[in-house]
Amino acid sequence: MGTQRTQVAIVGAGPSGLLLGHLLHNAGIDNLIIERQSGDYVLGRVRAGVLEQTTVDLLDEAGVGARMHREGLFHDGYDLTFGGARHRIDLHGLTGGKRVMVYGQTEITRDLMDARAAVGRPTVYEATDVAPHDFDRDAPTVTWRKDGAVHEVRCDFIAGCDGFHGVSRTSVPEGGVTTYEKVYPFGWLGLLSDTPPVSHELIYSNHERGFALCSMRSMTRSRYYVQCPLEDKVEDWSDAMFWDELRRRLDPATAATLVTGPSIEKSIAPLRSFVAEPMRFGRMFLAGDAAHIVPPTGAKGLNLAASDVRYLSRALIEFYAQKSSAGIDAYSARCLARIWKAERFSWWFTSLMHKFPETGAIGRKLQQAELDYLVQSRAASTVMAENYVGLPF
Ligand code: FAS
Ligand code: PHB
């Protein structure tokens, strides 16, 4: 077995693992990332699109924000459509000047991969049978197989940044983790197209046929979603069927201006609310989707991952620089306080905007009443806006 040594072993090279690795590198802390997939596969996943200011700030702190500021789009608000009309939520005006950045997760991942390669930090891609060991002691290790050989890295800490289906959380002994989960009775069918967005800001639609979302990656690349049955398969949906359904779920004036084109990506994502407690197990920490999942309605998934990485990087830097474990000891509670507020907002926004057949006609009437109240009450709109732009640390 080939054995190497590092200070922090990171499992997973998604946004959480890459951002943590770069923040630690900048602080002079040695780290190795071990990833199950290839770099191209990781880059091929189309996911989040909206960044909170605190996430933008953290990417700037890591020194990887240049292209984001060149190509990203700051948005001061978004529209809600229901009952055939559009209503703007003025994020900037309701939150004292805050806004969000539209910049795709794929691009963030690319920027982080490029930055890591530029400083020569090692990432092991296409590793199989990755496994964390002895994280309840002072000398944890991570093992994996690659090129027919077993490899081991000895480390001080393990960061489980391996997403919802990763190995870190499930390596915690039985009874060590408490999970909370709610699975929604529908999915999101997403389509990416090189067409101009239907609007300069996002549009969230509550329609009797189901939810729809008009988003973007740039002013020439659009990202759209429609709520779909859980049993649907992406091959059930031709591009034409998608465009027709999206038009039906938008207000007529917007539908009339929709520019359609061939899909360059189409996928169905299930929706769930999920939290694992705690997020620290001796010398192993969970960060990002490894510890929590939100329905994407509130655009919180990637931002929560960045929030965890902000806390964890500061805690590890404090440990090595000041030999203090205060940040490490507080990590889980600090993250969970923020995570649960984002879980609540994501659940509330999902419950407000989607079609739930099981709640019947009265469920729809109650949604309509809440939406009417929301767009007429400055107080209610402010609550929505301050959660959407991200709560302060
Ligand atoms: P990730 O899942 O991104 O990365 C985990 C990494 O660990 C992956 O590269 C994986 O290959 C690797 N890994 C897994 N098991 C491993 C093992 N055993 N060994 C080594 N490596 C392993 N958020 C939004 O805000 N808006 C959205 O629209 C949105 N859409 C989404 C759609 C889908 C289908 C999914 C799954 C998520 C979506 N999210 C969205 C949330 C998403 O953006 C996540 O919050 C974000 O990817 C979190 O990043 P990570 O924590 O790095 O987890
Ligand atoms: C996206 O652009 O992918 C996106 C934007 C906002 C959301 C979810 C997804 O709430």
C-alpha closest to that of 186 among 358, 387, 369, 302: 358
* 108 domain-assigned: yes
Query: Which atom of ligand 1 approaches the CA of 15 most closely?
Result: 52
Q: Looking at the structure, do residues 166 and 293 belong to the same domain, yes or no?
A: yes
Helix (H) or strand (E) run with residue 60 in it: helix 53-62
pLDDT at residue number 169? 98
pLDDT at residue number 287? 98
Query: How many Cβ atoms from other residues are within 10 Å of residue 382's Cβ?
Result: 16
Beta carbon of 162 within 6 Å of any ligand 1 atom: yes
User: Which domain CATH number covers 381?
Assistant: 3.30.9.10
pLDDT at residue number 392? 87
CA of 302 to the centre of ligand 2 (A): 10
Beta carbon of 156 within 6 Å of any ligand 1 atom: no
Beta carbon of 25 within 6 Å of any ligand 2 atom: no
Q: Looking at the structure, do residues 114 and 150 belong to the same domain, yes or no?
A: yes
| DSSP annotation string for 189-232 | EEEEESS--SSSSEEEE--TT--EEEEESSSS-EEEEEEE-TT-
Task: Tell me the CB-side half-sphere exposure of residue 136, using CA atoms within 13 A.
Answer: 4
Q: Looking at the structure, do residues 173 and 190 belong to the same domain, yes or no?
A: no
Q: Looking at the structure, do residues 56 and 119 belong to the same domain, yes or no?
A: yes
User: Which domain CATH number covers 166?
Assistant: 3.50.50.60
* 299 domain-assigned: yes
CB-CB contact of 59 with 108 (8 Å): yes
Residue 300 CB burial class (10 angstroms; 0-12, 13-18, ≥19): buried
187's CB contacts (< 8 A; 6+ apart) are 227, 228, 229, 230, 232, 268, 269, 270, 271
Tokens of 308: 């965890």
Query: How many Cβ atoms from other residues are within 10 Å of residue 374's Cβ?
Result: 18
Domain span holding position 65: 2-75+98-180+272-349
Q: Looking at the structure, do residues 246 and 369 belong to the same domain, yes or no?
A: yes
Tokens of 43: 């880059």
* 91 domain-assigned: no
Q: Looking at the structure, do residues 110 and 256 belong to the same domain, yes or no?
A: no
* 61 domain-assigned: yes
Q: What are the beta bridge partners of residue 30? A: none
d(CA 300, CA 54): 12
Q: Looking at the structure, do residues 224 and 170 belong to the same domain, yes or no?
A: no
Beta carbon of 19 within 6 Å of any ligand 1 atom: no
C-alpha of 170 from chain center: 20
d(CA 191, CA 212): 11
Q: Looking at the structure, do residues 358 and 345 belong to the same domain, yes or no?
A: no
Q: Looking at the structure, do residues 299 and 381 belong to the same domain, yes or no?
A: no
Tokens of 135: 């994280």
Active-site residue numbers?
75, 204, 296, 300, 388
Full pLDDT tens readout for the chain, 393 residues: 788 999 999 999 999 999 999 999 999 999 999 999 999 999 988 899 999 999 999 999 999 999 999 999 999 999 999 999 999 999 999 999 999 999 999 999 999 999 999 999 999 999 999 999 999 999 999 999 999 999 999 999 999 999 999 999 999 999 999 999 999 999 999 999 999 999 999 999 999 999 999 999 999 999 999 999 999 999 999 999 999 999 999 999 999 999 999 999 999 999 999 999 999 999 999 999 999 999 999 999 999 999 999 999 999 999 999 999 999 999 999 999 999 999 999 999 999 999 998 998 999 999 999 999 999 999 999 999 999 999 988
43's CB contacts (< 8 A; 6+ apart) are 106, 109, 110, 113
Query: Which atom of ligand 1 approaches the CA of 298 most closely?
Result: 25
pLDDT at residue number 199? 98
* 85 domain-assigned: no
3-state SS track over 65-103: CHHHHHHCEEECCEEEEECCEEEEECHHHHCCCCCEEEC
pLDDT at residue number 212? 98
* 40 domain-assigned: yes
pLDDT at residue number 94? 98
Tokens of 158: 């393990």
The residue to mutate among 55, 302, 387, having the most atoms of ligand 1 within 8 angstroms of its beta carbon, is: 302
* 173 domain-assigned: yes
Instruction: Characterize the bridge pairing of strands 149-154 and 2-5.
Output: parallel
Q: Looking at the structure, do residues 220 and 329 belong to the same domain, yes or no?
A: no
Beta carbon of 296 within 6 Å of any ligand 2 atom: yes
Q: Looking at the structure, do residues 138 and 218 belong to the same domain, yes or no?
A: no
Q: Looking at the structure, do residues 325 and 218 belong to the same domain, yes or no?
A: no
Task: Tell me the CB-side half-sphere exposure of residue 262, using CA atoms within 13 A.
Answer: 1
* 162 domain-assigned: yes
Q: How many domains is the chain built from?
A: 2
